[in-house]
């Protein structure tokens, strides 16, 4: 067993019970980072807001609702693959840590825990990592009640910056589901995946979800649902900024816009001003005029071919061990290991 890395980052222990501990690494530095991100984004020629700020408590609830929408095929398709392949993924897992980056609802993680050799989460520590403490605590408590032998170390952190705080004292199955890698630009995905690869040791595995390229009509319907939940989720980022940075965005002045750019193989999501408006962000001492028709870019959702994904993994120092997909080829789950030098 390898020794645990020494982690120098300070954290607050916000919750502790016999089988559950929550560590919060999002202290003042996260608030400072948010201030920098929002100032940079709203003063750019093409205004933007990083999509990680969607996920406060309300945003997490809205995302769970999105996952159940009929147009949003990703979740049900990924769950169907997990249903068929979870025993294969968990077969080598004798004991250790099940690390989930960007944890949310427990539907997917339960498939893996249920497929483990030992019942009730015995010999397993689940390590969820998420920026929303309230969502992480709620999901963790639910799992503790469901699995009587499971231990949980919840980490409130930004996994794009805080991989070093995730323990490595046991062998790990690191999971990154939902095609969240698609929310990264090509450059950012390389940096992130290299960070994952560099953190892995012999015996560690990495399970990643990929949304594959498909018909434009299917993709655009998934991000423009008939119930308007995705629209509310997109606009929620303005509520977050209003609350966290003492701003006065008029949320009703913006419309949700999502479209597929075939030449870039990605869905782009924007907030488009339906009138001339402005926002005062008191904590940043910033006033931003926004013209009618102008957009704030809030998210990209890149789509992949098998070839483009393998190239992305290889350039980051990761090798494919197993590849699973659904009958339509709409979604993939890929097991990766660190490439041998």
What value does the mean pLDDT take over residues 49-78?
Answer: 93
> In the chain, how many domains are there?
2
Specify whether the CB–CB gap between 155 and 167 falls below 8 A.
no
The conformational region for residue 122 under phi > 0 = left, psi -120 to 50 = alpha, else beta, is beta
DSSP structural state of residue 253: G
Quick check: is 5 in a domain? no
My answer on whether 264 and 298 are in the same domain is: yes
pLDDT on residue 5: 36
Q: How far apart are CA 87 and CA 288, in angstroms?
A: 52
Whether residues 127 and 196 share a domain: the answer is: yes
pLDDT for 2 beyond 60: no
Same domain, 190 and 225: no
d(Cα 195, Cα 245) in Å, to the nearest integer?
A: 30
Whether residue 184 contacts residue 302, with contact meaning beta carbons closer than 8 Å, is answered with yes
Cβ atoms of 271 and 259 closer than 8 Å: no
| Least trusted range by pLDDT, from 199-203, 212-216, 223-227, 329-333 | 199-203
Same domain, 191 and 95: yes
Cβ-in-10-Å burial (0-12, 13-18, 19+) of 14 comes to middle
Residues 100 and 172 placed together within one structural domain of the fold: yes
Report the mean per-residue pLDDT for the chain: 93
Q: Is the pLDDT of residue 87 over 80?
A: yes
Mean pLDDT, residues 163-190 taken together = 94
- 19 and 130, same domain (yes or no): yes
Task: Report which of 70, 28, 337 is spatially closest to residue 196, judged by C-alpha positions.
Answer: 337
d(CA 131, CA 25): 9
73 and 164 part of one domain? yes
Residue 3: predicted pLDDT = 35
Range of the domain at 265: 42-53+218-302
CB 110 within 8 A of CB 79: no
Residue 1 pLDDT > 50: no
Average pLDDT rounded to a whole number, residues 82-92: 94
Q: How confident is the model at residue 197 (pLDDT cuts 50, 70, 90)?
A: very high
pTM score: 0.91
Length of the chain: 341
Identify whether the C-beta of residue 150 lies closer than 8 Å to the C-beta of residue 19.
Answer: yes
Quick check: is 283 in a domain?
Answer: yes
- b/e burial code for range 217-249 (CB count within 10 A of at least 16 → b): eebebbbbbeeebbbbbbbbbbbbbbebbebeb
Q: 317 and 204, same structural domain?
A: yes
Distance (Å, rounded) from C-alpha 106 to C-alpha 42? 34
- DSSP letter (8 states) at residue 201: -
Q: Say whether both 114 and 233 belong to one domain.
A: no
Q: Are residues 147 and 88 in the same domain?
A: yes
pLDDT surpassing 60 at residue 6:
no
For residues 92 and 182, state if they share a domain: yes
Closest CA to 298 of 41, 23, 49, 3: 49
Cα→Cα distances 267→77, 107, 170, 196, Å? 18, 25, 38, 25
190 and 334 assigned to the same domain: yes
Residue 250, pLDDT > 70, answer yes
Extract the tokens encoding 299.
């998210």
């Amino acid at each position: 067993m390898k020794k645990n890395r020494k982690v120098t980052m300070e954290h607050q222990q916000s919750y502790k019970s016999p089988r559950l501990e929550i560590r919060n690494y999002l202290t003042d530095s996260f608030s400072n980072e948010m201030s920098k991100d929002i100032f940079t984004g709203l003063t750019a020629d093409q205004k933007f807001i990083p999509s990680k700020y969607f996920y406060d408590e309300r945003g997490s609830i809205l995302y769970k609702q999105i996952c159940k929408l009929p147009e949003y095929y990703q979740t049900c398709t990924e769950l169907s693959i997990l249903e068929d392949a979870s025993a294969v993924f968990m077969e080598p897992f004798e004991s250790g840590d099940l690390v989930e980056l960007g944890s949310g609802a427990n539907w997917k993680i339960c498939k893996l825990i249920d497929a483990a050799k030992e019942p009730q989460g015995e010999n397993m520590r689940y390590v969820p990592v998420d920026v929303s403490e309230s969502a992480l605590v709620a999901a963790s408590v639910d799992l503790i009640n469901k699995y009587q032998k499971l231990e949980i170390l919840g980490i409130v952190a930004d996994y794009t910056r805080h991989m070093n705080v995730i323990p490595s004292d046991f062998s790990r199955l690191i999971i990154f589901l939902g095609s969240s890698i698609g929310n990264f630009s090509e450059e950012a995905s390389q940096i992130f995946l290299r960070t994952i690869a560099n953190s892995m040791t012999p015996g560690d595995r990495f399970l990643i979800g990929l949304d594959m390229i498909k018909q434009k009509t299917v993709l655009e319907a998934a991000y423009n649902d008939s119930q308007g939940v995705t629209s509310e989720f997109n606009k929620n980022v303005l509520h977050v900024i209003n609350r966290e940075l003492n701003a006065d965005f008029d949320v009703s002045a913006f419309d949700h816009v999502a479209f597929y750019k075939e030449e870039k193989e990605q869905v782009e999501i924007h907030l488009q001003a339906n009138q001339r408006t402005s926002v005062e962000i008191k904590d940043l001492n910033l006033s931003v005029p926004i013209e009618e028709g102008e957009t704030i870019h809030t998210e990209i959702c890149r789509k992949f071919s098998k070839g483009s994904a393998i190239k992305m993994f290889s350039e980051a120092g990761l090798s494919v061990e197993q590849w699973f997909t659904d009958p339509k080829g709409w979604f993939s789950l890929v097991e990766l290991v660190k490439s041998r030098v």
